[in-house]
């Protein structure tokens, strides 16, 4: 099966911008790139006026499969990914049962064989995410896990995290830290401050994140052990990580689009679709996140895609934390980072594709002959409004409902096949 992408402007962090390019794909691999290529017997995807970038690699996704498939499953999550230009997802282990055994990792990979995106399972650091007994990292890696994390529940003690970081390095597995001190969270449901007080609900202080980030950084510095910090949301965390990097510590981190585009004021609506963990913060935190993106402190942008059914999100105070984001991450980033001139488009693609692939140790993030044909084609000028009912995820708990974005995915290619094209029903 051959596919010819005709006339796209290629955006690749390694080469910059290459206009009016034809890309020939055979058997899932890019075989030729030129100003013009004969079509022969290839299927043609006309891409005049579109930008073509390496498919996005989302290193923080909850597919809810196995065990919570009323919210999402592997196939529906990957359909949503494809609609957002995401060709690879790293799925977190807080499933039911937890992804703490080779059997669960194998089950996830089997379900993903015919999905619209590549699926890379992240295995649990501790059994059942209870923070008591470490899992068998070697066995999990042999089954196909590409990283370890207790995301959704922080590793409770510094000693346990130190041992996990050491074992992860020995096995060649990235360790992804959900950095939260639960003794400081204390059941809070939003950022601590005046708005939480006005609403009469318990807040989550910034220190709950900052203290835990500082713990992981201290271990990384003292032992020269690599660690990746998930979903950074506070100015304090950015400052701690920036300082660690200046000292040469092997620390990397990610943030999510909602942390550089939305603030806690939205929770005045008492809409649980604005609740996630860590919570939306203040305008000053948003500014710090953007500055961390601009100066390179923050390495990657991920979604923390966390689907929940409508009935679960119905009550503001008792709803579970989490929002979906696979279908809006590129558009939100184009609108709030590239549009205002905070970063360039190649830098954005680096943060959403090239760097995540490198951090996870998987292929991707490049457009070149011999590379996998995982591509996103998008119109950077197309304006659209987020309508939850038109999203492909089983769950519709987006914090961007009704929001206007500039930049839209027009088509996605994964493994050399077109897995998504914008149709009239999506316009």
Q: What is the pLDDT of residue 372?
A: 97
Which among 285, 304, 315, 389 is annotated as catalytic? 304
pLDDT means over runs of 10, the chain (427 residues) = 96 93 98 96 96 98 98 98 98 98 98 98 98 98 98 95 98 98 95 98 98 98 97 98 97 98 98 98 98 98 98 98 98 98 98 98 97 98 97 98 98 98 74
Beta strands 2-12 and 43-46: pairing type?
parallel
Q: How far apart are CA 308 and CA 399, in angstroms?
A: 12
Helices (H) and strands (E) in the chain, counts: 13, 18
3-state class percentages of the chain: helix first, strand second, coil last, to nearest 5: 35, 25, 40
The pair phi, psi for residue 323, each rounded to 5°, is -140, 155
Q: What is the pLDDT of residue 392?
A: 98
Are 382 and 406 in contact by the 8 Å Cβ rule? The answer is yes
Which SS3 state, helix, strand or coil, does residue 167 take?
helix
Which domains does the chain carry? Answer: 2-52+372-426 (2.30.40.10), 55-360 (3.20.20.140)
Question: What's the chain look like in SS3?
Answer: CEEEEEEEEEEECCCEEEEEEEEEEECCEEEEEECCCCCCCCEEEECCCCEEEECEEEEEECCCCCCCCCCCCHHHHHHHHHHCCEEEEEECCCCCCCCCCHHHHHHHHHHHHHCCCEEEEEECCEHHHCCCCECCHHHHHHHCCCEEECCCCCCCCHHHHHHHHHHHHHHCCCEEECCCCHHHHCCCCEECCHHHHHHCCCEECCHHHHHHHHHHHHHHHHHCCCEEECCCCCHHHHHHHHHHHHCCCCEEEEECHHHHHCCHHHHHHCCHHHCCCCCCCCHHHHHHHHHHHHCCCCCEECCCECCCCCCCCCCCCCCCCCECCCCCHHHHHHHHHHCCCCCCHHHHHHHHHHHHHHHHCCCCCCCCCCCECCEEEEEEEEEEECCHHHCCCCCCCCCCCCCEEEEEEEEEEECCEEEEECCHHHC
Q: What is the pLDDT of residue 424?
A: 57
Q: What is the pLDDT of residue 1?
A: 82
Alpha carbon of residue 367 to chain centroid: 20
Structure tokens at 164: 């996990």
pTM above 0.85, yes or no: yes
Q: How far apart are CA 102 and CA 349, in angstroms?
A: 33
Cα angle 180, 137, 153 (rounded to 5 degrees) comes to: 20
Q: How far apart are CA 86 and CA 112, in angstroms?
A: 14
Nearest to residue 147, comparing CAs of 13, 70, 252?
A: 252
Residue 150 catalytic? Answer: no
Q: Which helix (H) or strand (E) holds 419?
A: strand 417-421
Q: Is residue 239 packed enough to be buried (19+ CB in 10 Å), middle (13-18) or exposed (0-12)?
A: middle
The string of DSSP codes covering 321-388 is P-B--TTTHHHHHIIIIITTTSS-HHHHHIIIIIHHHHHHT-S-S--STTSB--EEEEEEEEEEE--G
Q: How far apart are CA 248 and CA 223, in angstroms?
A: 12
Q: What is the pLDDT of residue 423?
A: 82
Structure tokens at 80: 């949503």
Structure tokens at 84: 């957002």
Q: Is residue 335 packed enough to be buried (19+ CB in 10 Å), middle (13-18) or exposed (0-12)?
A: buried
Q: What is the pLDDT of residue 426?
A: 67
């Amino acid at each position: 099966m051959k596919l010819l992408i005709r006339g796209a402007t290629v955006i690749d962090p390694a080469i910059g911008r290459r206009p009016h390019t034809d890309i020939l794909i055979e058997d899932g691999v890019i075989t030729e790139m030129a100003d013009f290529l004969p079509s022969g017997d290839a299927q043609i995807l006309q891409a005049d006026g579109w930008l073509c970038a390496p498919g996005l690699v989302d290193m923080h996704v909850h597919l809810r499969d196995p065990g919570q498939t009323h919210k999402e499953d592997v196939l529906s999550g990957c359909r949503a990914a494809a609609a957002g230009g995401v060709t690879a997802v790293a799925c977190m282990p807080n499933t039911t049962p937890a992804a703490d055994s080779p059997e669960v990792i194998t089950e996830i990979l089997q379900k993903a064989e015919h999905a619209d995106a590549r699926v890379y399972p992240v295995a649990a650091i501790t059994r059942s995410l209870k923070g008591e007994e470490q899992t068998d990292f070697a066995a999990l890696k042999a089954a196909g896990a590409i990283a370890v994390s207790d995301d959704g529940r922080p590793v409770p003690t510094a000693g346990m995290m130190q041992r996990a970081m050491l074992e992860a390095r020995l096995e060649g597995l990235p360790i992804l830290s959900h950095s939260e001190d639960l003794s400081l969270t204390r059941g809070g449901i939003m950022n601590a401050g005046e708005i939480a007080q006005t609403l009469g609900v318990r807040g989550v202080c910034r220190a709950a994140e900052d203290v835990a980030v500082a713990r992981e950084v201290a271990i990384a510095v003292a032992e020269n052990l690599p660690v990746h910090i998930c979903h950074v949301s506070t100015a304090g965390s950015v400052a701690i990580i920036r300082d660690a990097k200046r000292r040469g510590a092997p620390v990397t981190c990610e943030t999510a689009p909602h942390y550089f585009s939305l603030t806690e004021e939205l929770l005045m609506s008492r809409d649980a679709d604005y609740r996630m963990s860590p919570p939306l913060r203040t305008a000053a935190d948003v500014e710090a996140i953007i500055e961390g993106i601009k100066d390179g402190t923050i390495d990657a942008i991920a979604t923390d895609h966390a689907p929940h059914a409508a009935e679960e999100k119905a009550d503001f105070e008792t709803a579970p934390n989490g929002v979906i984001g696979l279908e809006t991450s590129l558009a939100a980033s184009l609108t709030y980072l590239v549009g205002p001139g905070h970063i360039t488009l190649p830098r954005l693609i680096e943060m959403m594709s090239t760097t995540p692939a490198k951090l996870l140790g998987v292929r991707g993030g490049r457009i070149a002959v011999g590379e996998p044909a995982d591509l996103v084609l998008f119109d950077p000028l197309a304006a659209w409004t987020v309508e939850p009912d038109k999203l492909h995820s089983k769950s519709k708990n987006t914090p961007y409902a009704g929001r206007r974005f500039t930049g839209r995915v027009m088509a996605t290619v994964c493994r050399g096949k077109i897995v998504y094209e914008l149709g009239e029903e999506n316009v």
